[in-house]
Amino acid sequence: SSDVLEAIENVIQDVLKSLAQKKAPVLTLAKRSDWRNVEFKDSVGLQMTPRYTTKQIRSDCPRSAPTFALMLKILSMIYKMVQSNTYATKRDIYYSDTQLFGSQSVVDNIINDISCMLKIPRRSLHILSTTKGFVAGNLIYTEEDGTKVNCTCSATAVTVPSNVQGIKNLISHAKFMLIVEKDATFQRLLDDDFCNKLSPCIMITGRGVPDLNTRLLVRKLWDSFKIPIFTLMDADPHGVEIMCIYKYGSVSMSFEAHHLTVPSVKWLGLLPSDLERLNIRKDALIPFSKQDQTKLASIQKRPYIACQPMWKKELEIMAASKLKAEIQVLTSLSSDYLSRVYLPNKLQFGGWI
């Protein structure tokens, strides 16, 4: 915590120095969402380059002055929380003055910019994000406050903890981990008792694009158990994008790649080639929208696709057919096809890439 306080004090001293010299204070930030500031490394995923381009948040420019003020406001809130060893969620910060902040996304962006500027992970800033992910299966752990959590598969899942760094005493006999894109599929697999039927496993869902805590938990479980991690996504560009976030990270959070990515993640399904192999009826598939085409084209150009020839092939099948499918399409074969046939066969015969 003394590192965090010192980092914030340095920023404020620079502001005071500028004022003493009768200059307008400026905050310098990395351009987090710029692909040119990101490099791809096989063992890490997308990480920020050491020499990145920056932007300035000036206090004397009408366009950036409000952002400058909000950054100082949030820095002062972080400083107080670290000093008093208290925590707040991003929502708490927004609701402390909704008029001032204007929207939750403004707060989220500033917090990520501050984390990147100070080179300190968000958790160390005492800011927790609200969790939306679920975990179930063969896993027991203790939360920071001493609460014991048992995720052993039952009809209900456990919410991903909001302070993943604080969990300890992780115990599991799971043979693999399954990341499921959507909540509906996750719940269906829970109902079918999938975690216990085949062999003990851990299931996780970020319920769409994963939040930070879900990604941190996947990484923590990988560091703890080093078991295979498979993803179950829709066969569409959006599903591929989500899988890439778990595996390689995202551009805007590339400054934290080392804590968030798991490059060993495997694509289990739903593969575009599966649709043909299983003779899925054409009328059960969904035609591409313009947005799908744009997203797929952008994914195909990404640096990590070049080192994944099998993925490249699957994306080419998708691009050629201009058709997508949700995992639910498997129910057209039989209601429990996913848990009874599809997943057991894939896991037994190595049907992942």
- Among 87, 95, 248, 304, the one annotated catalytic: 95
My answer on whether 283 and 164 are in the same domain is yes
Q: Select from 96, 112, 128 the last residue of a domain.
A: 128
pLDDT of residue 60: 85
Please state, rounded to an integer, the average pLDDT across all residues of the chain: 87
Residues 195 and 115 in one domain: no
175 and 308, same domain (yes or no)? yes
**Has 141 been annotated as catalytic?**
no
110 and 245 part of one domain: no
Going by pLDDT thresholds of 50, 70 and 90, the confidence category of residue 218 is very high
Same domain, 84 and 118: yes
Residues 13, 103 within the same domain: yes
Q: 27 and 12: one domain?
A: yes
Asked whether residue 284 falls in the same domain as residue 157, the answer is yes
Judge if 145 and 179 occupy the same domain: yes
Does position 33 have pLDDT exceeding 80, yes or no?
A: no
Mean pLDDT of 330-345: 87
**In terms of residue numbers, what domain contains 223?**
134-349
- 49-68: pLDDT as tens digits: 777 777 888 888 888 888 89
141 plus 245 within the same structural domain: yes
Give the number of domains in the chain: 2
Kindly report the CATH number assigned to the domain that includes residue 324. Answer: 3.40.1360.10
Q: Which CATH number characterizes residue 53's domain?
A: 1.10.10.10
Q: Which of 94, 109, 128 is the last residue of a domain?
A: 128
The reported pLDDT for the residue numbered 303 is 81
Q: Averaged over 96-101, what is the pLDDT?
A: 87
Structural domain ending residue among the three candidates 76, 103, 128: 128
CA-to-CA dists, residue 63 to 54, 59, 73, 114, angstroms: 17, 9, 17, 19
